[in-house]
Amino acid sequence: MVSDRRSGSVRTVVLFASTYAFPAIGFPLVTYAWWRSSGSWPFVVVVMGVPVVFGYLMPWIATSVVKRWRFTQVHALYPHHGFIYGAKLAFALLLVIRSLDSIRTPFEVLSVMLVAGAATAFGGWFHDTQAARAGKIEIAGGIEALATFAPPSYFTMGATYAGVTLAAHRVLLVDPQSVAWVFVVALFVLCLVPTLVFLAVDPPARRFVKERLGV
């Protein structure tokens, strides 16, 4: 009984830090760190802005359109939902990349993508598992369903984000004025690739798409 209360208290603290404290404190600090690392505000707009937009758009589709899961304590999404994604994805990638200029070969790019994907997969699965156990989210199919779609979906999210970020850096080094179309392309790829993986590993989501398409 005491152990259950203690684990519940730890879970509450972890979820508060992950959902509220880290985005509030971490987002401006990570933004500054990326600016110091790159020296390019157009790149910072992409590396920080793309996951923010992604973090509002894709969870809204999952909760309000597909209705794969729902948050129990907010109507649809947290007001700062995109900044949760932005802070965490950008921070994980910052830890993986020591220097943007040192990533030159395809092998180095692939290595960064794999490590960023693995870190995102573990972090996303762990957070969602704790949130489900705390009753903050309800998942169709129960908490066991997380094991089927969360790790591969989060892995693809982190790996794709790393890939588009590295590609954006190379383009913006040559042409900083191209930030607008780079942002749009990076966001499109970041939305598309994890969605395809999510559909591949999650039968309920596939059934939803087939019903909507009349297949």
In whole angstroms, give the CA distance from residue 215 to residue 208. Answer: 10
More confident of the two residues 124 and 50: 50
In whole angstroms, give the CA distance from residue 79 to residue 83. Answer: 9
In whole angstroms, give the CA distance from residue 49 to residue 79. Answer: 16
Structure tokens at 123: 């972090």
Q: What is the pLDDT of residue 156?
A: 97
At residue 1, does pLDDT exceed 70? no
State the average pLDDT over residues 138-166.
90
State the average pLDDT over residues 94-109.
90
CB 196 within 8 Å of CB 142: no
| Residue 16 CA: distances (Å) to CA of 12, 22, 202 | 6, 9, 29
Q: For the chain, what percent of residues have pLDDT higher than 90?
A: 61
More confident of the two residues 172 and 204: 172
CA-nearest of 69, 76, 206 to 127 is: 69
What digits encode the pLDDT tens for the residues 6-55? 667 888 898 999 999 999 999 999 999 999 999 999 999 999 999 999 99
Q: Sorting pLDDT into bands at 50, 70 and 90, what band is 65?
A: confident
Q: What is the pLDDT of residue 2?
A: 46
State the average pLDDT over residues 132-143.
82
CB atoms under 10 Å from CB of 143, counted, come to 14
Structure tokens at 30: 């990570």
More confident of the two residues 167 and 62: 167
State the average pLDDT over residues 143-169.
93
CB 171 within 8 Å of CB 100: no
CA-nearest of 163, 178, 212, 190 to 56 is: 190
Instruction: Look at the chain and count its residues.
Output: 215
CA atoms within 13 A on the CB side of 193: 18
